[in-house]
């Protein structure tokens, strides 16, 4: 695959559908099955190098590619936006190696791949959401060693995580973790929901949709199957709360019930727009 | 309008790719050929092959050209290409005693059987930048050729094998025995490492490691954060045959030759085989990359210390943080938009400030 062609779009299709060789797809699918069977458990797998850099969604890409069918319609978003750099790069790649349909409408997609957001529109049972994960280990916040965090998960030894949150409340009156908010899945594993904002965390709970998480650089895959409990860590007297947009609305579509991006204007004032641009566009139509 | 400004924009991305391509094409200079890169920037090519985990000098030269000399990017191109290739098998064990040696030194003894062979190296050059106008490069090449080969005595026999210094020490019971493990090695490109990692996984991981990262960690151990004061029992650069077993006939055959650098480091004795013996650190990488092979040898020795007493002895610390493709990818990803995350951060800070003010 030559770089020149890469830039202009004349890239020949790879020999196998969806770029990955069949052996690699089988590896990923096996890990996916195990992940679905043990909700929130990080399954190690032999992550392959992709033509996109590590940290740019290679885990999500491998998950998506391993389950794509020619009739699939894919939506890719980055920070909620269909036109942001990472989403554009990945769509460029899929368009050429998969030959699948591409959409910006969540309702029309069979697979949605995302970086750091869950679409505002409630997703259905016949859809899959693939989340790109930079750091799959929620406990990394309190323990740098992988051998140790694996042991802690095995023994459900989560005391240090709870203590960490408690100390935040004591010191700052608030838990400082903003995005990547740790959740308990199915009453068992503490899971990193990927760097989605707190706003999106409740969407994972008892959903109709299958959520698949791919961490390419860290070589882990995990899942939240439909109708699974996903509960953010909270205390009885200090409840989990999403970002506060009280009194604010999208300057474009007027929505008051969506996650808003804050934009600084030259005069120093702030303006707000829907982070989910596909949803915003739909409301404008 | 600000709404558009926060989108990357497909068009802008396409033009950024074009501009990058145009800038590296050499606007006013003659385009470089792969041959020029392979021969005249050969150490760069070697480094890229090692870090890319693929022995393919032409491909590595192409990668280096395409990456405008950035070894991280070039190794990444090679790795991504490698990931699309099927894994055909695993080579047979071989000894480097039969290496077609280009260079071979030992700093453990003044002289060693087979002799010290300096070979091509910048080690003994004066690092004076040649600022004078270059003399005619063709003429210069001829003079060098004449000087190098004129007085070469005819019929000098070059030995077929050079005995390995470590084997000589081992015969005297001074160095631990090889562990004799000939199981198929763990392949980190197909399985995710678990810790403690088997030595084959550690060595494979180090062999693909980024040269600077390995050097930094090995240096920390030699300088103060560790105990490894290595003696270089032997450093070799040369060609080794790649021995494969035929899938149908079951016979071994030589698939080709691979240029490698090999370093064997002895340091600190410990109890092995029931008595005190030197423990060995082993480094080997593609091409001529002596800094990397030595660093790898030191780190292999560090990682064999039972409990980690410094960063360079911690398997996770060393192996998780020495891959150039992973570390550069992740460091670069901070350039991607993070405004959703940052807004969430701002929300937390505003909440905490409000709570602080109210307290």
Domains of chain A: 3-139+174-232 (3.40.50.11310), 244-285 (no CATH)
Interface mutation vs chain B, best among A45, A173, A201, most B CBs within 10 Å: A173
pLDDT higher than threshold 50 for residue B257: yes
Give me the sheet containing B252-272, strands edge to edge.
Answer: B100-105, B231-245, B252-272, B275-286
Q: Do A261 and B343 touch (CB under 8 A)?
A: yes
B190 and B57, same structural domain? no
- For residue B8, is pLDDT > 90? no
**Is B73 in the same domain as B106?**
no
Residues of B within 8 A of A176 (CB-CB) are: 348, 352
> For residue B153, is it within any domain?
no
**pLDDT confidence bin for B227, thresholds 50/70/90:** confident
In chain A, which among 84-143 make CB contacts under 8 A with chain B? 84-89, 115-117, 134
Cβ neighbours of residue B345 closer than 8 Å, sequence gap 6 or more: A178, A179
Task: Per residue of chain A (285 residues), give pLDDT as tens.
Answer: 333 333 333 444 455 788 888 888 999 999 999 999 999 999 999 999 898 888 889 999 999 999 999 899 999 999 999 988 889 889 988 887 777 899 999 999 999 999 999 999 999 999 999 999 999 999 999 999 999 999 999 999 999 999 999 999 999 999 999 999 999 999 999 999 999 999 999 999 999 999 999 999 999 999 999 999 999 999 999 999 999 999 999 999 999 999 999 999 899 899 999 999 999 999 998
Interface touch B17/A219, C-beta < 8 Å: no
- Among residues A250, A254, A268, A278, the one annotated as catalytic is A250
Smallest CA-to-CA distance from B316 within A218, A220, A195, A180 is with A218
In angstroms, the Cα distances linking B65 to A120, B36, B38 are 45, 10, 10
Q: Are A192 and A114 a contacting pair, CB within 8 Å?
A: no
**pLDDT score for A63:** 97
What count of other Cβ atoms lies within 10 Å of the Cβ of residue A3? 17
**Residue B265 domain-assigned?**
yes
B34 shares a domain with B162: no
Cα–Cα distance for residue pair B201/B300, rounded to 1 Å? 11
Do B242 and B113 lie in one domain? The reply is: yes
Q: Is A217 left (phi over 0), alpha (psi -120 to 50) or beta?
A: alpha
Note the pTM of the prediction, 2 decimals. Answer: 0.89
Asked if residues B241 and B252 have their Cβ atoms less than 8 Å apart, the reply is no
Work out the pLDDT band at B1, boundaries 50, 70, 90: very low
Residue B13 has pLDDT above 80, yes or no: yes
For A92-160, where are the E strands, in sequence order? Answer: 101-102, 111-115, 128-132
Cβ within 8 Å, pair B192-A45: yes
Q: How far is B179 from chain A (nearest CA, A)?
A: 25
- Each residue's pLDDT tens digit, B160-192: 788 889 988 999 888 888 776 768 889 999 999
Choose, from A40, A60, A98, A216, the residue flagged as catalytic: A40
ipTM of predicted complex: 0.84
Same domain, B198 and B322: yes
Query: Which residue range forms the structural domain that includes residue B173?
Result: 96-119+158-328
pLDDT of residue A10: 41
Question: What are A260's two structure tokens?
Answer: 């808003």
Q: How confident is the model at residue B140, as a pLDDT?
A: 86
Q: B114 and B61: one domain? A: no
Assigned domain for B4 exists: no
Residue B223 lies in a domain: yes
Same domain for B166 and B198, yes or no, is: yes
Average pLDDT over residues B32-48: 96
Query: Quick one: B62 and B108 in the same domain?
Result: no
Output the 3-class SS for B267-330: EEEEEECCEEEEEEEEEEEECCCHHHHHHHHHHHHHHCCCCCCCHHHCHHHHHHCCCHHHHHHH
Q: Which of A183, A214, A216, A280 is catalytic?
A: A280
Identify which of B195, B337, B351 has the shortest CB distance to residue A84. B337
The answer to whether residue B147 sits within a structural domain is: no
Pairwise CB contact (< 8 Å): B316 & A78: no
Q: How many domains does chain B have?
A: 2
Does the pLDDT of residue B153 top 80, yes or no?
Answer: no
pLDDT-derived band of residue B7, with 50, 70 and 90 as boundaries?
low
Spatial separation of the C-alpha atoms in residues B255 and A271, rounded to whole Å: 65
**pLDDT at B229 (0 to 100):** 82
Residue B56 lies in a domain: yes
Q: Are residues B176 and B49 in the same domain?
A: no
Q: What is the DSSP letter of B337?
A: -
Q: Residue B9: is its pLDDT beyond 80? A: no
- B28 shares its domain with B168: no
- Are both B45 and B193 inside the same structural domain? no
Beta-carbon separation of A115 and B336 below 8 A: yes
Contact A278, A104 (CB under 8 A): yes
The answer to the question of residue B173 being in a domain is yes
Whether residues B78 and B102 share a domain: the answer is no
Would you say residue B190 lies in a domain?
yes
Q: Report the residue of chain B nearest A243, measured CA to CA.
A: B347
Burial class (CB in 10 A: 0-12, 13-18, 19+), A230: buried
């Amino acid at each position: 695959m030559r770089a020149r062609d890469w830039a202009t779009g004349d890239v020949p299709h790879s020999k196998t559908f969806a770029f990955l060789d069949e052996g690699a797809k089988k590896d990923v699918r096996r890990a996916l099955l195990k992940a679905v069977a043990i909700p929130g458990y990080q399954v190690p797998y032999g992550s392959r190098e992709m033509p996109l850099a590590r940290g740019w969604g290679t885990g999500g890409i491998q998950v998506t590619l391993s389950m794509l069918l020619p009739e699939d319609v894919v939506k890719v978003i980055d920070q909620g936006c269909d036109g942001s750099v990472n989403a554009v790069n990945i769509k460029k790649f899929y368009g050429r190696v998969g030959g699948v349909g591409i959409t910006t409408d969540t309702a029309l997609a069979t697979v949605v791949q995302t970086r750091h957001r869950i679409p505002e529109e409630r997703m259905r049972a016949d859809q899959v959401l693939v989340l790109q994960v930079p750091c799959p280990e929620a406990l990394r916040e309190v323990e740098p060693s992988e051998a140790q965090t694996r042991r802690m998960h095995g023994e459900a030894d989560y005391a240090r995580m709870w203590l960490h949150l408690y100390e935040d409340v004591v010191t700052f009156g608030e838990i400082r973790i903003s995005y990547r908010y740790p959740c308990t899945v199915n009453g068992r594993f503490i899971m990193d929901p990927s760097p989605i904002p707190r706003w999106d965390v409740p969407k994972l709970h008892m959903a109709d949709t299958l959520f698949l998480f791919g961490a390419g650089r860290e070589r882990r895959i995990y899942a939240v199957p439909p109708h699974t409990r996903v509960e953010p860590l909270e205390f009885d007297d200090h409840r989990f709360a999403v970002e506060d947009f009280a009194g604010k609305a999208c300057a474009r579509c007027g929505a008051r019930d969506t996650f808003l991006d804050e934009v600084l204007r030259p005069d120093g004032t702030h303006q707000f727009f829907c982070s989910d641009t596909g949803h915003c566009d739909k409301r404008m139509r | 309008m600000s709404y558009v400004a926060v989108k990357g924009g497909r068009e802008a991305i396409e033009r950024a790719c074009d501009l990058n391509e145009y800038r590296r094409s050499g606007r006013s200079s003659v385009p470089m050929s792969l041959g020029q890169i392979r021969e005249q920037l050969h150490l760069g090519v070697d480094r890229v092959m090692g870090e890319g985990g693929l022995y393919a000098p032409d491909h590595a030269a192409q990668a280096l050209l395409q990456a405008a000399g950035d070894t991280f990017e070039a190794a990444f191109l090679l790795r991504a290409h490698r990931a699309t290739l099927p894994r055909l098998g695993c080579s047979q064990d071989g000894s480097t005693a039969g290496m077609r040696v280009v260079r071979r030194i030992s700093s453990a003894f003044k002289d060693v059987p087979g002799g010290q062979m300096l070979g091509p190296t910048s080690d003994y050059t004066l690092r004076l930048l040649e600022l004078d106008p270059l003399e005619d490069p063709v003429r210069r090449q001829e003079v060098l050729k004449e000087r190098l080969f004129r007085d070469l005595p005819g019929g000098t026999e070059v030995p077929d094998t050079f005995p390995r210094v470590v084997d000589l020490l081992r015969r005297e019971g001074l160095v631990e025995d090889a562990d004799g493990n000939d199981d198929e090695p763990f392949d980190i490109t197909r399985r995710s490492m678990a810790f403690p990692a088997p030595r084959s996984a550690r060595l494979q991981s180090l062999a693909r490691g980024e040269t600077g990262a390995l050097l930094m960690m090995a240096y920390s151990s030699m300088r103060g954060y560790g105990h490894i004061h290595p003696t270089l029992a032997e450093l070799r650069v040369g060609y080794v045959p790649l021995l494969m077993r035929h899938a149908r006939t079951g016979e071994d055959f030589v698939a080709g030759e691979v240029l490698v650098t090999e370093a064997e480091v002895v340091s600190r004795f410990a109890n092995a085989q029931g008595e005190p013996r030197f423990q060995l650190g082993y480094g080997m990488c593609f091409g001529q990359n002596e800094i990397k092979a030595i660093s790898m040898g030191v780190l292999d020795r560090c990682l064999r210390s039972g409990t980690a007493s410094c960063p360079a002895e911690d398997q996770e610390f060393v192996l998780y943080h020495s891959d150039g493709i992973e570390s550069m990818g992740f460091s670069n990803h901070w350039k991607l938009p993070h405004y959703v995350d940052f807004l969430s951060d701002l929300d937390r800070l505003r909440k905490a400030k409000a709570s602080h003010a109210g307290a």
